[in-house]
């Protein structure tokens, strides 16, 4: 990810209440490179994962980077449970500009 990327740390409890706050935070970051730090997440709701997946897709359409820089075991397990283990919510290559340049 480029140097001008910023990081957003997710809370340990990423439940429905946290999802509401996450919507506002993601809206503030729209249009800028963003790395998500999910390393401290202990509880995650499907709604929160849906919001993050939607953001990853939107960032890709906007042509800016979005990636998960770190992810806790519970976060990765929740992604696997929902069939998202090969998607943009597990640590790995960035989506957006970087992914397009690598293709």
Q: What is the pLDDT of residues 19-47, one digit of tens each?
A: 999 999 999 999 999 999 999 999 999 99
DSSP string over 10-56? PPSEESHHHHHHHHHHHHHHTTS-EEEEETT--EE-HHHHHHHHHHH
pLDDT mean values, one per 10 residues, the chain (103 residues): 73 93 94 94 95 94 92 93 83 47 37
Look up residue 4 and give its DSSP letter.
T
pTM of the complete model: 0.81
Go through the domains of the chain in sequence order and give each one's CATH number.
Answer: 6-102 (3.30.750)
């Amino acid at each position: 990810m480029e140097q001008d990327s910023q990081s957003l740390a997710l809370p340990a409890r990423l439940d429905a209440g946290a999802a509401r706050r996450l919507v506002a935070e993601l809206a503030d970051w729209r249009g800028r490179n963003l790395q998500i730090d999910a390393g401290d997440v202990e509880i995650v709701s499907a709604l929160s994962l849906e919001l993050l997946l939607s953001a990853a897709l939107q960032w890709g359409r906007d042509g800016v980077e979005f990636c998960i820089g770190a992810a806790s075991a519970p976060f990765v397990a929740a992604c696997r449970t929902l069939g998202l283990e090969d998607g943009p919510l597990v640590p790995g290559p960035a989506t957006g500009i970087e992914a397009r340049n690598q293709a």
